[in-house]
């Protein structure tokens, strides 16, 4: 019953990003671990694709949940584009819907 099965939920060439995801999942109570992290020092001998670090959850029951969290996180990241006011050239973060400088509405 208590057998633990690991499931891979994500892989990325950006290990810093994977550790970031690991922190997010663990904050939700999902235990994870990173595999293949140490292999980068051997990159000269192994094709690059095989040395990407992998993020695994320690409880297979939480695999789907973990993937949903990652999916949601990546969607939120993509919405984070800043924009420039066409009227006055002021730059704004994605959370602003109109220009605080000249009150123009954000143009899409």
| Residues at the interface with Zn ion (CB under 5 A) | 85, 87-88, 90, 99, 101-102, 104
Minimum CB distance to Zn ion, residue 21 (Å):
36
Q: Are 48 and 14 in contact (CB under 8 A)?
A: no
How far apart, in whole angstroms, are the C-alpha atoms of residue 33 and residue 25? 10
When the beta carbons of 7 and 106 are compared against Zn ion, the nearer one is 106
When the beta carbons of 29 and 108 are compared against Zn ion, the nearer one is 108
SS3 at position 55: strand
When the beta carbons of 63 and 90 are compared against Zn ion, the nearer one is 90
């Amino acid at each position: 019953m208590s057998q633990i099965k690991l499931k891979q939920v994500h892989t990325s060439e950006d290990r810093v990003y994977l550790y970031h995801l690991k922190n997010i999942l663990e904050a939700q109570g999902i235990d994870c671990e990173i595999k293949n992290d140490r292999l980068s020092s051997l990159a000269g001998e192994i094709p690059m694709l095989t040395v990407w670090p992998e993020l695994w959850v320690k409880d297979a029951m939480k695999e789907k949940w973990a993937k949903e969290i990652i999916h949601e996180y990546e969607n939120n990241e993509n919405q984070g584009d800043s924009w420039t006011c066409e009227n006055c050239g002021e730059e704004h973060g994605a959370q602003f819907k109109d220009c605080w400088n000249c009150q123009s509405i954000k143009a899409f």
